[in-house]
Amino acid sequence: MSQQSVLYDVPGPRQRRLTLIGSVVATVLLLAAAYFLVYRPLDDKGQFSMELWGPLIDPSNENFSLVWKRIGTGFQNTLTAAALAIVSSLVVGTLLAVLRIQLKSLTRRRFTGLATPLAYLLRGLNMLLSAVTRVCVEVFRGLPVVITIFFVARGFPEFGVSFDTLWYLVIGLTIYNSVVIAEILRSGMEGLPGGQAEAAAAIGLSPAQTTRMILLPQAFRIMLPALISQLVVVLKDTSLGFIISYEETLNIGKQIIGALDNPIQVYVVIAVMFILVNYSLSKLAQYVQRRLSRGRKTAGTPAQNPPPAALASQSESNGQGI
Amino acid sequence: MSVLIDKFDVFAGGFWLTLQICVLAAVGALLLGAVLAVLRISPVPPLRAVGTGYVNVFRNMPLTVVMFFAAFGLPALGSNADFLRVPGLDAVFSRLDTDLPYFRFALIALVLYTAAFVCEALRSGVNAVPAGQAEAARSLGLTFGQNLRYVVLPQSWKASVVPLGSVIIAMIKNSALVGFFGVVGDLSQTADQLTSAEGYAFVPVAIGISIGYLIMTVPLGALLDRIEKRQAVAR
């Protein structure tokens, strides 16, 4: 909202009057559009009848408690899957990021103290591992998460490993999101000023110690907003569980619709629930971001921003899951 | 692996349909997203509120829910999404013309959902234009519209290419969902069809489908990385 004062002058009396008129006209037009394009067709089809809404909003309705108990179960399942997926993708993602940073620094090492063939072997091995992780990241980042979940649910039984559907969903989400989180953390670590790692090396920390004690904590801090918006993505993506018939909110919603035949009403309720939870998470991300930037200023340290373009593109792409 | 060769036309067909959906949805989302972005930075408060409300609603709702709304809510309202049958377009994208289940509904859902992210990408581009530029334009006496048209938007376009590209990549990946909503013949539905109904071995089919998606996403991602690097140098 800060740019708006840049794009146009602070309005004078005439401009204020014009804006007011414009506002009134726009409001009237919008309300008319909402009435004629949304309310009227809905009403014509009888979508506001108590018969359809009753089970969802009227406590005296016979189905009310049953319906909400089912929705509660569904939401609980959604949150369980999301929590498990978040924790495991954070762990796997962090490990992957550290691994990739380590491999990258190792590929630059020449192993001069060792015999020549051994040194070449080690270098080759490093390069191979580095390439393999790179390919894994590119592949899993480029695949739709729906496909990943679907493949996990279809593929694991094929190889004789079968779990509860919850675990297919969690594994599928973890594969996709851990790769994304690894990339977020890696770009956070690479965005740090080179002096950080140099200073750590100068006081005698090993590369592993440098990553663990110096780079990773700072990367977490800088990338916290991007990480939180990735959590929103995970929560949204758990709704894909319906594809492998995991009993999450949407799937339960489908069952309710099967029984009561009120699709629009049930989806409105479910959508509102998702929006409320995700919106508060996004607000949390904004709050964290503000606090972090303020903290950095008051501490008087030079701003250690990651490359702005990288951060912007990261958080943009991360905001968008399914 | 013989399924990859035997059923090559099925894979190719799935790829082609997915590509069509992606192109149509990208165009629609870019147009709608641009309108939303203008709303969000406009001086009229109710329009701003509409833009903000739209973005908040669609960004926080799973695409799955949007799809359900489009696929089951619109028919309940008696709409067939006929307005998407633009005369010239349906000659190129034949699926628009036919009444195969849910193609147009899925398209609407994808456009509505992606537009929110396009809007945010464009707005982040506007925010990236140095404030002094717009101030200078204003001090020259340009109006809001002129300011936007001649000074801010041309520059913001440059800053929003990379985030926009990420949005499009995400949209390509999201398009995989339409196969699970009855759009017959797209890549993800091909996987389902070949493994569960026709009983082909899982691994080769998985590889074929993955290659199909990676062809669309990886080169685009590499291109974006390159653009980003070049911009970083230019700065």
Q: Residue A246 and residue A257: Cα distance in Å, rounded?
A: 17
Q: Note the pLDDT tens digit of each residue in A38-68.
A: 777 777 776 677 666 766 666 677 777 777 8
Q: Do A263 and B210 touch (CB under 8 A)?
A: no
Q: Residue B200 and residue B71: Cα distance in Å, rounded?
A: 29
Which of A32-36, A301-305, B59-63, B185-189 is predicted most confidently? B59-63
Of A2, A314, A305, nearest to B130 by C-alpha is A2
Q: Residue A274 and residue A86: Cα distance in Å, rounded?
A: 17
Residues of chain A with Cβ-Cβ distance to B195 below 8 Å are: 154
Q: Is B85 an interface residue toward A (CB < 8 Å)?
A: no
Q: Residue A26 and residue B63: Cα distance in Å, rounded?
A: 29
Q: Which of B64, B164, B223 to mutate to test the interface with A (most CBs of A within 10 A)?
A: B64
Residue with tokens 């790829």: B15
Cβ proximity of B31 and B188 under 8 Å = no
Determine the pLDDT at residue B115. Answer: 92
Q: Do B152 and A7 touch (CB under 8 A)?
A: yes
Averaged pLDDT, A204-222: 85
Determine the pLDDT at residue B32. Answer: 92
Q: Residue A168 and residue A253: Cα distance in Å, rounded?
A: 21
Residue with tokens 């641009």: B34
Q: How many residues does chain A have?
A: 322
pLDDT over 50 at A302, yes or no: no
For residue A221, what are the contacts with CB-CB under 8 A and spacing of at least 6? A292
ipTM of this predicted structure:
0.80
Q: Residue A86 and residue A273: Cα distance in Å, rounded?
A: 19
Averaged pLDDT, A275-287: 85
Q: Residue B29 and residue B121: Cα distance in Å, rounded?
A: 12
Q: Is B61 an interface residue toward A (CB < 8 Å)?
A: yes
Cβ proximity of A248 and A238 under 8 Å = yes
Determine the pLDDT at residue B87. Answer: 60
Residue with tokens 């938007």: B153
The dihedral built from the CA positions of residue A137, A141, A147 and A149, taken in this order, carries a sign that is positive
Q: Residue A183 and residue A190: Cα distance in Å, rounded?
A: 10
Residues of chain B with Cβ-Cβ distance to A232 below 8 Å are: 60
Q: Do B213 and A147 touch (CB under 8 A)?
A: yes
Determine the pLDDT at residue B79. Answer: 67
pLDDT tier at A88 (50, 70, 90 boundaries)? very high
pLDDT tier at A317 (50, 70, 90 boundaries)? very low
Residues of chain B with Cβ-Cβ distance to A243 below 8 Å are: 180
Q: How many residues does chain B have?
A: 235
The dihedral built from the CA positions of residue A281, A282, A283 and A289, taken in this order, carries a sign that is positive
Determine the pLDDT at residue A92. Answer: 92
Q: Residue B147 and residue B140: Cα distance in Å, rounded?
A: 10
pLDDT over 50 at A129, yes or no: yes
Residues of chain A with Cβ-Cβ distance to B217 below 8 Å are: 141-143
Phi-psi region of A225 (alpha: psi -120 to 50; beta: other; left: phi over 0): alpha
In a structure prediction context, what are the per-residue pLDDT tens digits for chain B, which is 235 residues long?
666 777 777 788 888 888 888 888 899 999 999 889 888 887 778 888 888 899 888 888 888 888 888 877 777 666 666 666 666 666 666 666 565 667 788 888 889 999 999 998 888 888 888 888 888 888 888 887 888 888 888 888 788 888 888 888 888 888 888 877 777 777 777 777 777 777 777 778 888 888 888 888 888 888 888 888 887 665 5
Q: Do A41 and B77 touch (CB under 8 A)?
A: yes
Q: Position B117: which residue type?
A: F
Facing residue for A267 by CB, picked from B60, B73, B144: B73
Cβ proximity of A235 and A173 under 8 Å = no
Q: Residue A210 and residue B109: Cα distance in Å, rounded?
A: 47
Crossing angle for the helix pair B45-60 and B8-41, to the nearest 10 degrees: 150
**Nearest residue of chain A to residue B166 (CA atoms):** A317
Facing residue for A146 by CB, picked from B65, B188, B217: B188
pLDDT over 60 at A239, yes or no: yes
Determine the pLDDT at residue B95. Answer: 62
Phi-psi region of B141 (alpha: psi -120 to 50; beta: other; left: phi over 0): left
Residues of chain A with Cβ-Cβ distance to B147 below 8 Å are: 7-8
Q: Which of A42, A236, A316, A318 to mutate to test the interface with B (most CBs of B within 10 A)?
A: A316
Cβ proximity of A249 and A239 under 8 Å = yes
Between A57 and A273, residue with greater pLDDT: A273
Determine the pLDDT at residue A141. Answer: 86
Q: Residue B175 and residue B189: Cα distance in Å, rounded?
A: 11
Q: Residue B177 and residue B186: Cα distance in Å, rounded?
A: 10
Q: Do A158 and B202 touch (CB under 8 A)?
A: yes
Q: What letter does residue A110 receive in the DSSP assignment?
A: -
Closest CA of chain B from A277, distance in Å? 8
Q: Is B52 an interface residue toward A (CB < 8 Å)?
A: no
